[in-house]
């Protein structure tokens, strides 16, 4: 038998252990994992010289823009950024231009993504106004539905509890995940209004307007209004101790609830805002150290299920404005997330096991990506290959993303993704993109 590819001298993460082995790949799937002499012949052989091999990592929270926002990012630049950052699958958010929340906008976005993507990609939809359309979009393969509670983006009236209830009920019936941006719009609007009236428009004022209570209120409201529905709630970018406590209680009560943290909220605090200025303005914002500590503990203890980059590219002009109320919120993260987390592994703050759990196993489970998340015979041959000893310095000017700024510019990190394979195809090699746009696959949720 001759297979497509065999990788030799791998240190691969398999069932909780790091094992020295070879990996055979045929037609985009693992066909054999074992000792070198047991490997079949192959068209291509690559010696990995002891590099670490992880199951392809999944970033379940990215904003890849494209369509009418290609000036910020497009699928080619965004998924090049993903491949360079060690992600083989990304799940893309729907706050686009046009907003992805109809069968037409969803199918159109899927067509564009298919031709341009370098990694596997699943698309979220926003809620449509008419909930019968939700079933149709879900049928087209939406990976989940996004609910922005901090500002009105989709078709669900977020000021109306009954509308939220209906939305959760419909999502439950369609057996789809609802990814939630939990901030209370009304409270934030009131706070912002006060600050603007008093001509307070600095970075600190933004943090004071987006208090942690606004997050807790929104989490409580989402849990309350989803009561009795079958919806799976996935809370994005949790930032507060109390928010996390609320989610822990819901989990304990048997509710179908999971949550995500971003490296921003795990590694930066509100104290960094003055130093970093507008580029560190993200939603929800950075918090005080006590929250950061609680989140890190939440990751270590398994209360936080996933880590997502919340890659949110903007132009540098959009990030360098005078008033904080005019700044576009968000920061790119695809090329920094994994190295930052690898550095925490090196510092023995988190384990490799945890890394694989939050970036592969849990996202695969939450989003029903049944062929992903594990290095196992028969699964998709998505691989993230890491030089875990490499010391290097983050340089935002070299990002593949169009957004060439970062709160982590010039940070010293340890550990670098050096190769990314997607369905058995080498996409990124030593920071070079070596495959063509369209090499990645579209992931459509299979509707039962």
- Output the smallest distance, CB 79 to ligand DOR, in A: 17
Partner whose footprint covers residue 79, from ligand DOR, Zn ion, none (CB < 5 to 8 Å by kind): none
311 sits near Zn ion (criterion: CB under 5 A): no
- Using the minimum distance from each CB to ligand DOR, give the nearer residue, 95 or 211: 95
Partner whose footprint covers residue 329, from Zn ion, ligand DOR, none (CB < 5 to 8 Å by kind): ligand DOR
Residues 83-102 interacting with ligand DOR (rule: CB under 6 A): 95
Residue 106: name the closest of 118, 93, 120 by CA: 93
- Output the smallest distance, CB 310 to ligand DOR, in A: 6
DSSP code for 36: G
- Output the smallest distance, CB 239 to ligand DOR, in A: 11
134 sits near ligand DOR (criterion: CB under 6 A): no
DSSP code for 278: G
- Output the smallest distance, CB 93 to ligand DOR, in A: 7
311 sits near ligand DOR (criterion: CB under 6 A): no
218 sits near ligand DOR (criterion: CB under 6 A): no
- Output the smallest distance, CB 330 to Zn ion, in A: 7
CA distance 288 to 383: 36
CA distance 292 to 268: 8
User: β-strands 17-26, 29-34: how paired?
Assistant: antiparallel
Residues 157-196 interacting with Zn ion (rule: CB under 5 A): 181
- Using the minimum distance from each CB to ligand DOR, give the nearer residue, 18 or 99: 99
407 sits near ligand DOR (criterion: CB under 6 A): no
Residue keyed to tokens 């993704």: 417
Residues 258-297 interacting with ligand DOR (rule: CB under 6 A): 282-283
CA distance 402 to 39: 41
Radius of gyration of the chain (CA): 21
Among 39, 90, 278, 312, binds ligand DOR (CB under 6 A): 312
Residue keyed to tokens 């979009």: 137
Partner whose footprint covers residue 154, from ligand DOR, Zn ion, none (CB < 5 to 8 Å by kind): none
Partner whose footprint covers residue 95, from Zn ion, ligand DOR, none (CB < 5 to 8 Å by kind): ligand DOR
DSSP string, 77-136: HHHHHHHHTTEEEEEE-S--SS-S-SHHHHHHHHHHHHHH-SSEEEEEEEPPSSHHHHHH
63 sits near ligand DOR (criterion: CB under 6 A): yes
**Is the CB of residue 275 less than 8 Å from the CB of residue 204?**
no
What track of x and - describes contact with ligand DOR for positions 163 through 182 (by CB under 6 A)? ------------------x-
By rule CB under 6 A, what count of residues binds ligand DOR? 8
DSSP string, 201-260: -SHHHHHHHS-HHHHHHHHHHHHHHHTTS-PEEEE-S---HHHHHHHHHHHHTT--EEEE
Three-class SS state of 309: coil
- The pair of structure tokens assigned to 270 is 């509100």
- Using the minimum distance from each CB to Zn ion, give the nearer residue, 167 or 415: 167
Tell me which of 310, 380, 382, 387 is the catalytic residue: 310
- The pair of structure tokens assigned to 29 is 């799937």
CA distance 80 to 201: 35
310 sits near Zn ion (criterion: CB under 5 A): yes
- Output the smallest distance, CB 6 to ligand DOR, in A: 41
Q: How many CA atoms lie within 13 A of 321 on its CB side?
A: 13
**Vertex 332, ends 326 and 333: CA angle to 5°?**
145
End-to-end CA, the chain: 36
Residues 16-75 interacting with Zn ion (rule: CB under 5 A): none
**Annotation marks residue 310 as catalytic:** yes
Tell me which residues are annotated as active site.
Answer: 310
Q: List contacts with ligand DOR (CB under 6 A).
A: 63, 95, 181, 282-283, 312, 329-330
Q: List contacts with Zn ion (CB under 5 A).
A: 181, 310
């Amino acid at each position: 038998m001759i297979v497509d590819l065999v990788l030799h001298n791998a240190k691969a993460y398999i069932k909780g252990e790091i094992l020295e082995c070879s990996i055979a790949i045929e037609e985009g799937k693992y066909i054999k994992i074992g000792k070198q002499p047991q490997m079949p012949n192959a068209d291509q052989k690559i010696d990995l010289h002891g590099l670490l091999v992880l199951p392809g990592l999944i970033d379940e929270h990215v904003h890849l823009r494209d369509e009418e926002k290609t000036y910020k990012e497009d699928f080619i630049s965004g998924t090049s950024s993903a491949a360079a950052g060690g992600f083989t699958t990304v799940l893309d958010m729907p706050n686009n231009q046009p907003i992805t929340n109809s069968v037409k906008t969803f199918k159109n976005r899927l067509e564009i993504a298919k031709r341009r993507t370098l990694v596997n990609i699943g698309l979220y939809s926003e809620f449509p106004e008419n909930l019968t359309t939700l079933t149709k979009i879900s049928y087209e393969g939406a990976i989940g539905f996004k609910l922005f509670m901090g500002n009105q983006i989709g078709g669900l009236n977020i000021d109306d509890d009954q509308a939220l209830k209906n939305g959760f009920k419909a999502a439950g019936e369609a057996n789809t995940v609802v990814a939630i941006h939990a901030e209370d719009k009304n409270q934030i609007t009131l706070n912002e209004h006060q600050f603007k009236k008093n001509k307070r428009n600095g970075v600190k004022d933004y943090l004071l307007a987006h208090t942690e209570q606004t997050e807790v209120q929104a989490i409580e409201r989402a849990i309350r209004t989803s009561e009795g529905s079958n919806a799976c709630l996935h809370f994005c970018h949790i930032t507060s101790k109390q928010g996390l406590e609320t989610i822990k209680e819901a989990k304990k009560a048997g509710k179908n609830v999971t949550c995500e943290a971003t490296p921003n909220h795990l590694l930066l605090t509100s104290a960094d805002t003055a130093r970093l200025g507008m580029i560190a303005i993200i939603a929800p914002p950075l918090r005080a150290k006590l929250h950061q500590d609680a989140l890190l503990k939440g990751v270590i203890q398994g209360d936080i299920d996933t880590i997502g980059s919340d890659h949110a590219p903007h132009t540098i002009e959009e990030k360098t404005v005078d008033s904080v109320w005019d700044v576009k919120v968000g920061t790119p993260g695809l090329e920094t997330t994994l190295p930052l987390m690898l550095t925490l592994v090196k510092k023995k703050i988190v384990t490799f096991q945890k890394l694989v759990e939050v970036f592969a196993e849990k996202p695969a489970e939450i989003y029903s990506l049944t062929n992903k998340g594990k290095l196992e015979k028969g699964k998709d041959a998505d691989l993230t290959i890491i030089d875990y000893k490499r010391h290097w310095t983050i340089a935002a000017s070299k990002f593949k993303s169009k957004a060439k700024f970062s709160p982590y510019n010039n940070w010293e990190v340890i550990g670098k993704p050096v190769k990314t394979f997607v369905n058995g195809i080498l996409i990124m090699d030593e920071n070079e993109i070596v495959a063509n746009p369209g090499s990645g696959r579209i992931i459509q949720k299979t509707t039962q």
